[in-house]
Structure 1
Amino acid sequence: MVRRFWSSTALVVVILALAVAAFPTTAPSQSLEDILFQAFEITADIRPVPLQVTCTDQCRIVRFGTMKAKTLVQFKVNSPSPVSQARVFLDSDLNAKAVTGVPLTFRRERENLVLTFNPPLQPDATGSLTFEYEGQPFLLFDDLILLDDGVLYPVLVSPFGDISANRGTLKTTVTVPAGYLLASTGKMTRSETGGMQTYRWEVGEPLPYIAVVGGRVYRSIEKQAGQIGLTVLVRPQYDAFADKIADFTGKTAEYYSRLLYPFPFDRMTVVSAPFGRALLGLGFPALMMLTEDAFTGGQSGDLRRDSYLFLLVAHEAAHTYFPAQTSGRGIAYVWLSEGFAEYLGLMTVQAVMGQAAFRKELDEDRKWYASVAGRGELPIGAYTRLNSGGATAVAVRYAKGAFVLHMLRFLVGDDAFQKILQTYATRFRGQSVRVDDFAQVASEVAGRDLSDFFRQWINERVLPDYTIAEATSAAAEGGFRTTVKVRNAGTGAMPVEVLFEQEGGEKVIKRVDIGGGVTIEVSEITPRRVTKVEADPEKWLLQSNYTNDAATVR
């Protein structure tokens, strides 16, 4: 849901430290499939306060808003055997006052409430639980209200730190003082009396999560983004790019509708949030939060580049599909959200803005991953919400995650790749899936077993390094025979293209398979002398070194 953390200030470090601490370090015993939460009715009374920060050696927030809430959860036992224990994620800034509905006891373990059922819940049992809680959530201030899963309402957590595998309908009621403008997902009604406002939202289709966002000094701007009605919430003087963001949102929704299936919502809300450069965006179903710098162009740098701003919008809009419509669970479930959103965003830039813009943003992701590659990063499959908060983890799940899909596109071709995405999205709409489900669709559409590809790039840590070890050419058969020794000095086995460029600029490309540590000989007869050879000329593949790919032919 988040695109690109940067920790450039002490306050940001505080924010990140809180975010990382939000996930337990011990794995619960039950599976997420043992018990399912199927519906939420949330009632919350929130009282925001002005943000107050003090700075000495470090900056820290000294005053927090308050929330008092109750959530009624409908559950079903999905386990074939009795369930004696379950864990739910509830932010540590909240104090659980009561959990009722069935005989149980509960205790706090860091960010989790451990529920012990006595007697155990029987297979196929259904029922309800009522959670009552209150406290001081982190982002509940005049200029920024952000309450999401684990804060606004408790959710099940799996041994993998996976909290988005459950899909439930949601009814949300939030009471807030007059003057605050709030947004969420679903059909909304609002009333005001006695200086207090009551917002109500209802979502009829099961979703993995929602959020309530907003602030005091916002104003609402209505836009039409293609076929999508768009509500933009901005603070005064932060609306310079509102028309551009509406345009990008509409074009993104149109492209996703062609690529996958019609955009799931006929309305979207975009909130301009005072994140600065520490956090660029958050994506929820039919709701995006973008840093105010995106609405103003910031002071300098990336956000003044249209392709970068477009990628930011397209990335967050992609979360309306992944994970809102198809959510991941288990190993690498974060990749099924963030890696997909990043590459779908890149594809949108390519489709709308052209190849040059696409290559620019793709190369930025390439450099992003290169900044952490080989420096102790884990495989994609090793990162979950338990350990996904650091800079290395972010680069792996976004940048490397996007490149895994880019390399799959290279492996199967454009047409097959787009069919893979469409088949996966439509087949598993409204479901929670595993990486194996996507891999099975990819193999099915491609007509060949792609399990080795996913094993290498999801479960293992491989990084090729293609180099031209030797290149010679001699007259032969009325033309020239060029022989090249291509070596993969790195790890992992992938097909790679080898370019033979002749005098006059004519090019021939051959594709060969090269395993890690292997050197192969590739020959080609051409009518004119070959002057240059290059491995992976289009730079489809992740590598540890891109400076040794080409050579002049002797």
Structure 2
Amino acid sequence: MKTFAIIFLLATNIFSQNEVSAQEALFKHKQKLWQHSRSLNRTSTSDNPQNKYDALYYKLELDIQFNPKLLSGKVTGRFQSNTNVLDTLVLDLDNAMHITSVSGPVKSYHHSNQKIEIELSQSLLLGDIIEIKIEYTGIPDSGNDRWFVFDQLIDGSPHVWTLSEPYGAKYWWPCKDFPADKADSVDIIVTVPQDQIVASNGTLQFDIIAGEKRTFHWQEKYPIATYLVSLAIGPYAHFTDSYTLPDNSSMLLDYYVYPQFEETARAVFPNVKNHLDALTFYFGSYPFSDEKYGMAQFGWGGAMEHQTISSIGNVRESWEYVYVHELGHQWFGDALTCASWTDIWLNEGFASYSEALYAEWAGFQGLEPGFDSYKSYMGTQKYLGDGALTISDTSVVSNIFDRIVYDKGSWVLHMLRYVLGDEAFFESLRTYVSELKYTSVRTEDFKNVCETISGKELDAFFDQWLNYPFFPRYAFSWEQASSEEKKSLIQITILQEQSYPVYEMPIDLQFIFPSGNDTVIQILNNRVEQIYMMEFSEVPLSVNFDPDGWVLKSVQDESGGSYSSEIKIENIYPNPSNSDVTIVAKYWGQGNLELQVFDYLGREIKKLKPFYASTIHKYYYKWDGLDEHGNRVADGIYFVSPIVKNKAVSSGRKIVIIK
């Protein structure tokens, strides 16, 4: 069927975004995972003295006692100067840990405010390398309940576990605790009572029993961020499996669960092989294949993507997508780690999108594998809330791990797949992994790969979806513009109702015809109001806007409207509001319609004139929360009504103002 589109552009930027209630998160553990850390602050500035050196290597030698509880440690660090004159080395260590000695080329040291300031005996030049050993002892801060936990199992058996994301490693070992600086490798040597098993990162070098003590030596030979270093210690039921890699070699699958969960784990965990099949298909080879992939049960109710050994809070079949999420992190979060928590969506958004890809691979909720399963799963992650995906304030930990980075992050990848097409999109993902794995990355790195592979300029795409709250609010209408023999001209009008930004996105329009045929036309929408003219051989019965749900949005079909004498206030948003309020009214009359804001006593507060009138009889108003004299109104309930012939014509719609 022959079609064409003529585009008429109105280059005007307008409107405010509607606040729409979001769906509940699919996995509640994602939302509660970081509630405990809302009061934790950290400042990172460009003149941070820790930027003057790189951490190359750590060796952790830990002795853990349960009765009484005590952590004793020796941590050896190897560091390289990034500056011409380095005379002080600053490391992170919580004050609850008491330093007994600092050895190496050290003149003196001072430990306070969770920092160790080490004055070197001789200044280092650019590229110089030193090695420093810190010995310490203590009980990790009892005021925290996540970083390092002395716990117990249901039978009272002792249990230790760690969860150090984002700034928690310093609570149990001295280090440079920031994700941009990965150590090239880490040795983790842990001594525990004989009846305990230690699971940790990398490969097990030895497990030695000496008297009543047992020592495990784990070695992670790949670069690793400090928050991904992990301990899971307890009288575990331990079992292994193997996964056949593309080259027909085997990779260790290593599992540690509480004894009462062993039977369930042996039934559920074999599906991890299917998870690996799916994610290696989409992302490329598992990045730590010559070490292992494992899961270790721990006492936290969620899960955590520790490198090569994910920690999991439960063992059950219904947790399959949690397991997929943590496995996805082995590529995105572990092999590639966000260099700054500002870009945490590079970790969590990608891992969440792994879940949707697995649904496409394996099927979801009774649907066969394929696009319908994928689309259904993306629906569970639809995020229609406030907030920008780029986290501007990372000093408050709860800002970093808000639901937006999981769900909207996943939707950004979903939309990018649509913009690039499957071939370029998946090639971009695999190239991003292969070229940048084992490094710390930023959004710009991912964008550059996508632009190189696709040949598309993506500045606008990433800017609009990462740096602004909410999403586009579309209103559209269609009508027959003219009809001649064997052809009909159809006019499509699309309006973006949010105030900023004006989104630039392709949009699919599906036309359904009386003959039973349908056709999909993709248009580019990048203006406040656009009119598209399309010619068909028959008049459509209906038009579906973005029928496959590729764009995160709200949409309202204004087609088929007829003249009405009623003046209708259609929307007020956000409401309640602590900032500007946008009001949308429908009015078929002539001239501009004014609105009146008044309080609960009926006193006029302010008259509003429309700042934009669309071709589909919609009028848009902005109230800044000020009265006619420029004074901010008090918190409370206000009303807005249309004014006709200088009189309000209805009792009005309610607006709630909060501070």
- Fold agreement, TM-score > 0.5: yes
Matched residue type, 2:307:
P
Q: 1:170 aligns with which of 183, 186, 209?
A: 186
In the superposition, the TM-score normalised over structure 2's length comes to: 0.69
Q: CA deviation at 1:494?
A: 2.4
Could you tell me whether the CA contact under 8 Å between 2:197 and 2:236 is conserved in 1?
A: yes
Which one of 465, 486, 493 corresponds to residue 478 of structure 1?
486
Q: Kindly tell me: are residues 125 and 536 of structure 1, through their superposed partners in 2, closer, same or farther at Cα, counting changes over 3 Å?
A: same
Counterpart contact for 1:381–1:458, Cα < 8 Å: no
Report if the CA contact (8 A) 1:230-1:246 is conserved: no
1:394 maps to amino acid: D
Change (3 A) 1:422 1:26: closer
Write the distance in 2 (CA, Å) between the matches of 1:86 and 1:458: 36
CA 324–550 in structure 1, closer or farther in 2 if over 3 Å, else same: farther
Residue 157 of structure 2 corresponds to residue 132 of structure 1: no
Partner secondary structure for residue 540 of structure 1: coil
TM-score (norm 1): 0.81
Alignment equivalent of 1:286, drawn from 308, 311, 320: 308
How far did 1:378 drift? 3.9
Q: After the TM superposition, which of the residue ranges 478-487 and 104-113 deviates more from structure 2?
A: 104-113
Cα distance in structure 1, aligned partners of 2:120 and 2:438 = 29
Whether the 8 Å contact between 2:388 and 2:466 is mirrored in structure 1 is no
Once the 2 structures are TM-superposed, how far is the Cα of residue 133 of structure 1 from its aligned partner?
A: 2.6
Q: In structure 1, how many angstroms separate the alpha carbons of the residues matched to 2:547 and 2:474?
A: 11
- Of residues 160, 163, 187, the one that matches 1:145 is 160
- Asked if 1:337 is matched to 2:347, the reply is yes
The Cα shift of 1:383 comes to: 5.4
Cα distance, 1:480 vs structure 2? 2.8
Note the 1:381-392 alignment, pairs <5 A. Answer: 381-382=391-392, 384=394, 386-390=395-399
Question: After the TM superposition, which of the residue ranges 167-176 and 491-500 deviates more from structure 2?
Answer: 491-500
Q: What is the Cα-based RMSD across aligned positions, in Å?
A: 3.0
Superposed CA deviations along residues 421-479 of structure 1, whole A, max 9, x for unmatched, are 11111111222222222111111111122122222333444621122145446534513
Give the alignment of 1:329-478 within 5 angstroms. Answer: 329-330=339-340, 332-353=342-363, 354=369, 355-366=371-382, 369-370=383-384, 373-374=385-386, 377-382=387-392, 384=394, 386-390=395-399, 393-461=401-469, 463-472=471-480, 474-478=482-486
Alignment match, 1:539? 549
**Larger deviation, residues 430-439 vs 234-243:** 234-243
Equivalent-residue separation in structure 1 for 2:121 and 2:518 (angstroms) = 73
Q: Does 1:488 align with 2:496?
A: yes
> In 1, Cα distance between the equivalents of 2:430 and 2:30?
33
Distance 2:345 2:193 in 1: 39
Matching residue's letter, 2:35: L
Q: Flag the structure with more relative contact order, 1 or 2, with Cα contacts below 8 A and sequence separation at least 6.
A: 2
Match of residue 237 from structure 2? 219
Structure with larger Rg: 2
Amino acid at match of 1:500: F
Per-residue deviation, 1:7: 6.9
- Structure 1 position 411, deviation (Å): 1.0
Unaligned runs of 5+ in 2: 1-26, 141-147, 154-158, 246-250, 364-368, 563-659
Query: Structure 1 residues 88, 363: closer, same or farther in 2, change over 3 A?
Result: farther
By percentage of residues, which structure has more helix?
A: 1
Distance 1:213 1:103, change over 3 A: closer
CA distance in 2, matches of 1:477, 1:179: 88
Distance 2:341 2:304 in 1: 22
CA contact (8 A) 2:179 2:338 kept: no
Q: Kindly indicate whether residue 35 of structure 2 is the aligned counterpart of residue 16 of structure 1.
A: yes
The 3 A distance-change label for structure 1 pair 536 and 83 is farther
1:233 to 247, 256, 259: 256
Count, aligned residues: 501
User: Is it true that 1:242 corresponds to 2:250 in the alignment?
Assistant: no
**How high is the sequence identity, in percent, across the aligned residues?**
18
The equivalent position to 1:206 in structure 2, one of 211, 219, 223, is 223
Structure 1 stretch 181-190 or stretch 105-114: which is displaced more?
105-114
Is 1:251 aligned to 2:280, yes or no? no
Match of 1:59 in 2: none
Q: Which residue of 1 aligns with 2:7?
A: none
Amino acid at match of 1:230: L
Select which of 501, 505, 509 maps to 1:498.
Answer: 509
Question: Secondary structure at 1:449's aligned position in 2?
Answer: coil
